[in-house]
Amino acid sequence: MAQTNQINLQGRHAVVTGAAQGFGLAITTRMVASGANVSMWDIDEAELAKAAAAFGDKVSTHICDVTDVDAITAAVASSNQAFGPIAILVNNAGITGPNDVTWNYPVEDWRRVIELDMNAVFYCCRAVVPQMMEAGYGRIVNIASIAGKEGNANAAAYSTAKAGVIGLTKSLGKELVDHDIAVNCITPAAAKTRIFEQMSQTHIDAMLSKIPRKRFVLVEEVAAMVCWMASEENHFTTGGVFDISGGRATY
């Protein structure tokens, strides 16, 4: 997809979690093109190094397990050292977990999905918001999912976690209304990324059948929406949920 609009993130320091691939890499690419310096957080050291090579000194890399509060604290410190205070936080890291009916869903997989897809968003916001408040500026974009609005059969953990991200976004946005800090989330349909490797073909086909556009979202389309939401131009909307589901949900 050709980039058609120039978004101004000049001089801003952004943190993108799960930045080595998929949505995270596309968001990093668009942010660098928009003038931002990006701290790329990911748990996969090899993939992160490979992804970062294209960006030169516009990015810094940080191996971080975002389910580990101490690791987040360390990543914040090293990111600040690289590019100064964090102005933008994109909480993107996540997994789908296995596909199964709720009554058969493995408890350990449930805990793993909830911890990464929901709790980690809270941990990262908790770590970064105080410095945004001190600076008097910030933009937070949380990557939720259409599953968080509608609930996907055979994906109860993922749907529940993403619904939680929507709730967290609304609460934090209201808590920060007296500051120039916007907190919003997006609810994309699925994209053809490596996350599909965690899903059954039946589940993938079921998701596609619900999208009126009759295709999956492109990672570049997600990146474009996120980067505008992360820009100074978006200074009014907060606690919002932006749909990018190809017409599946219009509420």
- Residues annotated as catalytic (active site), given as ranges: 158
Using CA atoms, how far apart are residues 41 and 127, in angstroms rounded to an integer?
14
Token pair recorded at residue 53: 């090579």
- CB atoms inside a 10 Å sphere around CB 172: 22
Please give, one letter per residue, the 3-state secondary structure of the chain: CCCCCCCCCCCCEEEEECCCCHHHHHHHHHHHHCCCEEEEEECCHHHHHHHHCCCHHHEEEEECCCCCHHHHHHHHHHHHHHHCCCCEEEECCCCCCCCECHHHCCHHHHHHHHHHHHHHHHHHHHHHHHHHHHHCCEEEEEECCHHHHHCCCCEHHHHHHHHHHHHHHHHHHHHCCCCCEEEEEEEECCCCCHHHHHCCHHHHHHHHHCCCCCCCCCHHHHHHHHHHHCCCCCCCCCCEEEEECCCCCCC
Residue indicated by tokens 């998929």: 22
d(Cα 140, Cα 90) in Å, to the nearest integer?
6
